[in-house]
Amino acid sequence: MASQDREDPVQELIRQYLPTETLSEARNLLHRFQEGEAFKLYVLRRIWLVIPVGLVIVLVSLACAAATVLFFAAGGSWLALPAFVLAPFILIGSLFVQLYVFFSWLESRALAKAFRRRARPVPTWGRFLPCPGSWRRSSWPRPSQCWRWRRRRSRCC
């Protein structure tokens, strides 16, 4: 009886590769942009930066579609027709993916700013020096001596 509870493995495999969840998440992202004040305000304040990025995204999508057509057309004339048929789908798909990723990133930045959370900085070489700028904010244990030791023992560096 346990086998009746499980779905057909073929249907489960097909459902795994359908983009329904991604499309619903994109719809939810658009709804959050329309209804959410923090996200909308964040994007509208930076519209002069968002528009050029949108233009670059359109150019990259056009380049992907054109490169696909040229690649298949170079293979022979019998591949040119499918390439021209697939070009609009490639254009729309690449636009969708790039815009979805970009606006998801913008939303995460807007939420981080709204809740005053700072993203963890990427470690740089300064983090691995023997004496970072402020030992109080660092999670590392304070060493007994620093390579930039000063006379005041209350603060290293």
Supply the DSSP symbol for 125: G
> 107: Cβ–Cβ under 8 A, 6 or more apart, which residues?
29, 32, 33, 39
Higher pLDDT, 18 or 136: 18
| pTM assigned to the model | 0.62
Query: Do 130 and 60 meet the contact criterion of CB atoms below 8 Å apart?
Result: no
Supply the DSSP symbol for 126: G
Supply the DSSP symbol for 154: T
Identify the pLDDT of residue 65. 94
How many Å separate Cα 130 from the centre of its chain? 34
Q: Which two tokens stand for residue 88?
A: 């609009």
**Radius of gyration from C-alpha coordinates of the chain:** 26
pLDDT tens string 47-76: 999 999 999 999 999 999 999 999 998 888
**Nearest C-alpha neighbor of 111 from the set 52, 63, 41, 46:** 41
